[in-house]
Structure 1
Amino acid sequence: MDFSVLFLSLTTLFSTLLLFFIHKLIIYFSTHPKILFTLRYFNNVKTKPRKFVSVDESICIKCRGAKLLCGKPRCPVLVRYYKNLEVKPLIEKKVLFGSSPPSLFIGRMGYPKVYAGPMLPPIEGDTSYMDTPELWHNISIDDLVAFRMKLVRGKYRIDVSNMKGKIVSYLQEIAMAAKPVDMEVEFEKKPKGVITLYDEVQPHGPSAPIKKIWVENPKVDARIEKAAYDEMKARDAVLWLYRQGAFISSIQKAFSAGLFGIKPKMVPTRWSITAVDDTIGKKLVEEIKNNPWLNEYRIYYTKSMDNLWVIFMYPSSWQYELIEAWYPNTTWNPLGKKIVMFGDHEYYNGRSSYATIGGCYYAARLAVAEKLKREGRQAGVVVMREIHPGYIMPVGVWNVRENVRKALKGEAKKFDDVREAMLFVSSLLHIPIKRWIETSSLLKNVLYQRRLEDFVK
Structure 2
Amino acid sequence: MLCGKARCPILVKAEALVKVKSVLEREQISGSTPPAAFVGRIGYPKVYVGPLLPHFYGDTVLLDTPEWWLGKGIEEIVNFRYSLVRGKSRLEVKAASTGNRLLDTLQELAMSVRAVDAEAVFEKRPTKMLILSDIAQPFGPSAPLRSFKASDSSVDRRIEKAYYDRDLKAAEAVTELYKKGVLVTRIQRAFSLGMFGEGKRRRLVPTRWSITAVDSILSEALVKEVKNHPTIDKYMVFYLKNIGNLYIIILIPKLWSFEWIEAWFPGTPWNPEGASPKPAIMGDYEPYWGRKDYPSIGGCYYATRLAAAEALSRMRRQATVLALREIYPEYILPVGVWNVRENIRAALKTKPQIFETLEEALRFIRGLLRVPLQSWIQHSIILRGALSQKSIKDYV
**The two structures share one fold, judged by TM-score above 0.5:** yes
In structure 1, distance between residues paired with 2:209 and 2:22: 28
Inter-partner Cα distance in structure 2 for 1:127 and 1:356: 35
Residue 158 of structure 1 aligns with an amino acid whose one-letter code is: L
SS at match of 2:387: helix
Q: CA offsets per residue over residues 153-195 of structure 1, 9 Å max, x none?
A: 1000100102322111111111111111110001111111111
Q: CA–CA distance in 2 between the matches of 1:165 and 1:398?
A: 30
Structure 1 match to 2:333: 393
Q: Rg: which structure is higher?
A: 1
Aligned twin of 1:193: 128
- Alpha-carbon distance in structure 2 between the residues aligned to 1:145 and 1:83: 11
Q: Deviations over 1:391-443 (max 9, x none)?
A: 11110000010000000000000011211111001111111111100110101
Does structure 2 conserve the Cα–Cα contact (< 8 Å) formed by 1:152 and 1:205?
yes
Distance 2:190 2:157 in 1: 13
Which residue, out of 247, 259, 280, partners 2:183? 247
2:308 matched to which residue of 1?
A: 368
Equivalent position to 2:216, from 271, 274, 278:
278
Structure 2: gaps (5+ residues): 391-396
Which range moved further: 333-342 or 322-331? 333-342
Question: How many positions carry a matched residue from both structures?
Answer: 372
Q: Aligned pair in 2 of structure 1 residues 449, 367: CA closer, same or farther (>3 Å)?
A: farther
SS in 1 for 2:367: helix
Conserved in 1, the CA contact under 8 Å of 2:9 and 2:332?
no
Which residue number corresponds to residue 34 of structure 2?
101
372, 380, 388: which one pairs with 1:440?
380
Query: Quick one: distance in 1 between partners of 2:308 and 2:22?
Result: 39
| Within-5 A mapping of 1:68-83 | none
Normalised TM-score (structure 1)? 0.79
1:221 to 144, 156, 159: 156
Per the TM alignment, residue 326 of structure 1 is displaced from its structure 2 partner at its CA by 0.3
Equivalent residue letter for 1:379: A
Distance, in Å, in 2 between the alignment partners of 1:131 and 1:449 is: 48
Contact 1:317–1:379 (CA<8 Å) still a contact in 2? yes
Most deviating of 358-367 and 197-206: 197-206
Aligned 8 A contact 2:13 2:78 in 1:
no
Equivalent in the alignment of 2:394 = none
The equivalent position to 1:153 in structure 2, one of 86, 99, 104, is: 86
How far is 1:449 from its partner? 7.6
Partners of 2:30 and 2:242 lie apart in 1 by 34
Q: Secondary structure at the match of 1:309?
A: strand
- Tell me if the contact between 1:306 and 1:390 (Cα under 8 Å) persists in the aligned partners: yes
Native 8 Å contact 2:261 2:380 kept in 1: yes
- 5 Å-filtered alignment, 1:119-130, equals 119-130=52-63
| Closer, same or farther: CA 83–305 of 1 in aligned 2, 3 Å | closer
The equivalent of 1:144 in structure 2 is 77
Q: How does 1:104-115 map to 2 (within 5 A)?
A: 104-115=37-48
Partner of 1:290: 228
Alignment of 1:38-437 (within 5 A): 85-86=13-14, 87-88=17-18, 89-91=21-23, 92-163=25-96, 164-231=99-166, 232-262=168-198, 263-334=201-272, 335-437=275-377
SS at match of 2:360: helix
Q: Secondary structure at the match of 1:443?
A: helix
Q: Taking CA–CA contacts closer than 8 Å with sequence separation of 6 or more, which of the two structures ends up with the larger relative contact order?
A: 2
Query: Identity, % of aligned pairs?
Result: 47
1:376 Cα deviation after fit: 0.8
Asked if the contact 1:90–1:193 (Cα under 8 Å) also holds between the matched residues in 2, the reply is: no
**1:258 Cα deviation (Å)?**
0.7
- Residues 449 and 353 (structure 1 numbering): CA distance in 2 closer, same or farther, change over 3 Å? farther
Distance, in Å, in 2 between the alignment partners of 1:305 and 1:230 is 41
* Equivalent-residue separation in structure 2 for 1:323 and 1:332 (angstroms): 14
- The runs of 5 or more residues in structure 1 that have no matched partner are 1-43, 45-79, 451-457
Residue 331 of structure 1 aligns with an amino acid whose one-letter code is: P
Q: Which secondary structure does the structure 1 equivalent of 2:172 belong to? A: helix
Across the aligned residues of Structure 1 and Structure 2, the Cα RMSD in angstroms comes to 1.6
Q: Which amino acid aligns with 1:197?
A: L
CA distance in 2: counterparts of 1:169 and 1:361, whole angstroms: 33
